[in-house]
Amino acid sequence: MELEARMSATARHKRPRVTRYSKFAVGAAAAGTMVLVPSIAKADPQPTVDQVKTQLDKLYEQAADANEAYNAAKDAEGKLQQQVDGINRQMSAEQAVMAQTRTQLGGLAAAQYRNDGIDPTLQLMMQADPSTMLAMSATVGRISENTSETLRTLAQEKADLAAKAKEAADKMALLDRNTKDAEAKKKQFEGDVAKAQALLDSLQAKQRAALEAERAKEQQAAVAAAQAAAARQASSSSSSSSGSSGSSSKSSGSGSGSSLSIPPVSGRAAAVVAFARSQLGKPYIFGATGPGGYDCSGLTQAAWRAGGVSIPRTATAQMQGLHAIPASSAQAGDLVFFYGDSSYVNHVGLYIGNGLVIHAPRPGSTVSVAAVSTMPVVSYARPA
């Protein structure tokens, strides 16, 4: 009994103080919560409309870069696919020729087999008739010559086919890389657009309305200023031409809601400008060339296609591949390139006169009219 009493006392002595420790932990947690609550309750400051506008412009320019890179990758992908298809057609044709060559060799082999494998020279010596001997000699000579030539032809055809197979494999590998690069650029574009949308969503309804109103006001003012400047220049150039303004066409689908005075256009450019005007209001769509929507270079390419002229796909390729002109010589139908330098641009619009362009601006917008002065101009070019 005494031993049991000592063991019981020892057990009580070693038992952890759960209750006191738990109270301390709860108290510490509560104290920590009291410290953290003020920092959780403190919200990030709401961005101003000007701050959002600056960030949006940056995100949209990044998206334009991604769109230009995507178009370049897809364009290269299409050209490579055409080359691969051409090589495959050549390989099919060469395989058919090789089959014919093998058939010829098979005929020669069968002829030798029918001769029981006797050496042609011995067969000649066994002929009693000299005329028969001479005839066989000529035949054997031709067979030997044809066999050697056919074998050389087959070897060359095999080498050519192997070279084309390697070329096709190399181009297919490059095609695969371009496809993956295009998909990466598409994801980058979608990420930039998603960030821009999240930024817009962070604004209150009144702030979003104020931002859109400010953008619209800026565009309207720039378009009006461009038209006024064009009118002053026209009136000062010659008094005799002042009455020709009545022949200018009007458009209420400017994208800014104002009526536009467009100089008359003739020749091939008339069809180009008419097409572009008919697309006003259609949405900007990533990598699109119509008819439901466009990106910037997709619109200019489609417009000039309507005029019967094929131009490159991307804005940079259009700038580098077309005839450059000075700004002072710009006419309706010319292309105006923005945002970049002489080696790269990420935006293009179609000049319609009076300092205005029709363009597909950015994600979330529609094909509209804008003043050239609202964007940093790099250069002008004339497709035809």
**Catalytic residue numbers, as ranges:** 296, 347, 359
Placement of tokens 């031409």 in the chain: 241
Annotate 117-145 with DSSP letters as a single string: T--HHHHHHT---HHHHHHHHHHHHHHHH
| 353 backbone φψ class: left, alpha, beta (φ>0; ψ -120 to 50) | left
Judged by DSSP in three states, 336 sits in strand
Dihedral, CA of residue 60, residue 61, residue 62 and residue 65, to nearest 10: 120
Q: What does the block give as tokens for 363?
A: 């994600």
Single out the residue of 75, 73, 65, 56 nearest to residue 365, CA to CA. 56
What is the C-alpha separation between 240 and 237, in angstroms, rounded? 9
Judged by DSSP in three states, 159 sits in helix
What is the C-alpha separation between 17 and 23, in angstroms, rounded? 10
Residue 345 contacts residue 337 (beta carbons within 8 Å): yes
